[in-house]
A and B are shown apart, each in its own frame.
Chain A
Amino acid sequence: MARSVTQRRKIINTAAAWAIGLLIFFPILWTILTSFKTEAQAIADPPIFLGFDWTLENYGVVMERSNYMRFLWNSVIIAGGSTLLGTIIAVPAAWSMAFVPSKRTKDILLWMLSTKMLPAVGVLYPIYLIFIKMGLLDTKIALVVVLMLINLPIIVWMLYTYFKEIPGEILEAARMDGASLREEVLYVLTPMAIPGIASTILLNVILAWNEAFWTLNLTAAKAARLTAFIASYSSPEGLFYAKLSAASTMAIAPILILGWFSQKQLVSGLTFGAVK
C-alpha cells in the first residue's frame, strides 16, 4: 500500500479490529481466567473478571484426580505417532508425484483427497469390528493407524505442494553428481524441504490432536486421549467450573501455541493449494 492513510482512519480500524478480535478470543480467555479462580469465585454472581484470588489449586486437583499426565501422554503419542508415520509414507509418494509426474498423477492426487471425504460414521462399525477382531480396540496403535490414514491425504498434498516448488534441476544435478535415489532424497530433497515438512507435521499434529469422532468411539480407558478426558467432564454431576477450565486450558494450551506458529500453512494445507 503506497498510499498514506489518515491517522484517524487507522485508529478506528485498530479499535474495531481489536474489539472484534478480543470478542472472538473471549471464550478462551474466560476459560483461562476461570481456571485460576476458586470454585466459589468461578460461579460468583456477578462474575469476577480479574479481581479474584489467583490460585493454581485447580491444576493440582485435575492432575491428581484424573491422571492428566496419562491422557496428555496418550495424546502426544497418538498425534505425534500418526503424523510421523504418515509423513514417512507420504514423503516418497509426494516425491514421485512431484518429480516424476505421469498422466495419472492428477487422478491419484484427487482420489487420495476423495478418501478424506468419506464420512467417518459411514464406516464406523466395520472399523470398530476390525479392531475388536484384531484385539486393537482401545489401544494407542488403533488410533495411530486410523488418524494416520485420515490425515495421509492432507500430508501427501501438502508435501506435494512444497516439493513442487523445488526446482527439478537441482535433483537432476544431484543425479548427475552421482547421487543414488536414496542419497538424492536424503541429502538434497529432504534438507531443502525441511520448512515445508515441518509445517506439514505441525498442522497434522494439530488436526490429529483435536480429532474427536474416532477418539470418542474407539477408546474407552487405556488409550483415551485428552479429547475423551475432556468429554468425560460433560456429565452434569461433579461439574466444577474452575476445574473444568483448568482441564480445558491444559488440553488446548499446547496446540494453541503450535497452531499460532502454523497459521500460514493452515491455508495451503486445508485448501489443498486452491487458495494462495
Chain B
Amino acid sequence: MATQHSRSAARIMLAPAVILLLGWMLVPLIMTLFFSFKKYLPLRGGDLGWVGFENYVRFVTSSSFWPSVLTTLVIVGGVLVITVVLGVLLAILLNQPMWGQGVVRILVIAPFFVMPTVSALVWKNMFMDPVNGLFAHLWKFFGATPVEWLTQVPMSSIIVIVSWQWLPFATLILLTAIQSLDGEQLEASEMDGAPPLARFAFIVLPHLGRAITVVVLIQTIFLLSIFAEIFVTTQGAFGTKTLTYLIYQRVLESQNVGLGSAGGVYAIILANIVAIFLMRMVGKNLDA
C-alpha cells in the first residue's frame, strides 16, 4: 500500500520521534564520554583537564567497584529467581478454575502499581522496623528476638522488597502465556498417559520458555538501574551499594563528574549486553 506520496508523508511523520530520541540518546551519551576522560570536579575547581583513561582505571580499581558489581548481580539474580519461580507457580494456580478469579488477579497485580518509593518506605517502616514493624511483633509473638532487617540482613530485605514489586509483573506475563496454551495439547498429552508433573515439565514449561525469557530480560533491564528502593532504605550502606547507586554517589554526592561518568559508561555497556539479547527476542517476534 505504498505510493511515493504516502512514503514521503510517512517519513515526515516519523521524523519528530526519531530526531527527539536520537538527540536524547546521543547528546548525553557524548557528554558522558567527554566527561569520562576529564578530571572534572564542579565544586572543587571545575574542569581540571584531560586525564585519559585514568577515571576508567580508578573506577574499576576503587575498593567499592567490585563489591557494587557483586551487589548488583546478587540483587538482580535473587529477584529474578524468586519472581520467576513464584511467578510460574502463581500463574498456574491462577489459571485453575476458581471463584473470584478476577478479584484475585487484581489483588496480585496491585504491588506493581505502587510507586517504588512508597513501597520501600512502607516495607522499611511498617514491616521491617525492629521496634514497631509488623515483623517485629510477629517475631515477639513467637518468642524470638526481632531482627534488624535492614542492618543485619540488608541484602535479603531489599531482595524481598523488590521481589514483591516485580512478582505481579512476572505473574501477569506468565499467566497470559499460560492462557494462550492450547487446551487440546494438554488433553492430548493426558490421553497419551502423561501424569500432571510430566505434563508440566514437557508441555507447560516449554510453552512458557519464551515468556520466561522475556520476563528475565525486561526485569534485568529495570533491576540493573534500581534506585529508589536503595535510596529510601539503606542509602547504600551495609553492603547494598549497587553500581547505579555508586555512580550516583560519585556524581551527585562527591561531585566527581569525571569518575562518575566513567562509571556511567560501564553501566551503559553492562545494560547493552543485556539489551542485545532482548532485542533479538523482540526482533524475532516482529517477523512473526
Write the residues of chain A forming the contact surface with B, with a CB cutoff of 8 angstroms.
1-3, 5, 9-10, 13-14, 16-18, 20-22, 24-25, 27-28, 30-31, 34, 43, 45-47, 89-90, 92-93, 95-97, 99-102, 106, 108-130, 149, 152-153, 156, 168, 171-172, 181, 206, 209-210, 212-213, 216-217, 226-228, 230-231, 233-234, 239, 241, 244-245, 248, 251-252, 255-256, 258-260, 263, 266-267, 270-276
What is the total of A-B residue contacts with beta carbons within 8 Å? 318
Residues in A with CB closer than 8 Å to B279 are 110, 113-114
B17 touches which of A100, A156, A171 (Cβ 8 Å):
A156
Q: Chain A residues near B203 (CB, 8 Å)?
A: none
Q: Give the residue name and chain of the B residue nearest to A263 (CB).
A: B109
| Alpha-carbon separation in the docked complex, A119 to B214 (Å) | 19
Contact of A13 among B93, B227, B263, B267 (CB under 8 A): B93
The CA-CA distance from A240 to B190 in the complex, in Å, is 57
Contact between chains at B97 and A5 (CB < 8 Å): yes
**Once the chains are docked, how many angstroms separate the CA of A46 from the CA of B133?**
11
CA distance A153 to B287 in the complex (A): 19
- In the complex, chain B residues whose CB is within 8 Å of the CB of A128: 251-252
B214 touches A275 (CB 8 A): yes
CB closest chain-B residue, reference A157: B282
- Are A244's CB and B214's CB within 8 A? no
Contact partners of A25 in chain B: CB under 8 A: 107-108, 110-111
Q: Which residues of A contact B231 (CB under 8 A)?
A: 212, 216, 231
CB distance from A199 to the nearest CB of B (A): 14
Q: Once the chains bind, are B282 and A31 in contact (CB under 8 Å)?
A: no
Q: Which of chain A's residues have a CB closer than 8 A to the CB of B275?
A: 114, 117
Q: How far is the CB of A193 from chain B (nearest CB, A)?
A: 15
CB <8 Å contact, A27 and B125? no
CA distance A266 to B167 in the complex (A): 14
Residue pairs across A and B with Cβ atoms less than 8 A apart, 19 shown, are A27-B126, A28-B114, A34-B126, A89-B17, A93-B16, A97-B10, A100-B7, A102-B2, A112-B17, A112-B21, A119-B264, A122-B271, A124-B251, A129-B31, A212-B115, A231-B232, A234-B120, A252-B113, A274-B210
Nearest CB in chain B: distance from A31 CB, A: 5
B63 at the interface (CB under 8 A from A): no
Q: How far, in Å, is B255 (CB) from chain A's closest CB?
A: 9
| CB neighbors of A among B221-237 (8 A) | 221, 224-225, 227-228, 231-232
B196 vs chain A, min Cβ distance (A): 12
User: Are A263 and B105 touching (Cβ within 8 A)?
Assistant: yes
Q: Which of B32, B121, B123, B225 contacts A213 (CB 8 A)?
A: B225
Question: A24 contacts B117, CB within 8 Å?
Answer: no
Q: Do B115 and A209 touch (CB < 8 A)?
A: yes
Let me know if B111 and A27 touch, CB within 8 A.
Answer: yes
Are B17's CB and A90's CB within 8 A?
A: yes
Q: 5 other contacts beyond A25-B108, A99-B10, A241-B132, with CB at 8 A cut-off?
A: A9-B96, A43-B132, A95-B10, A100-B7, A126-B27
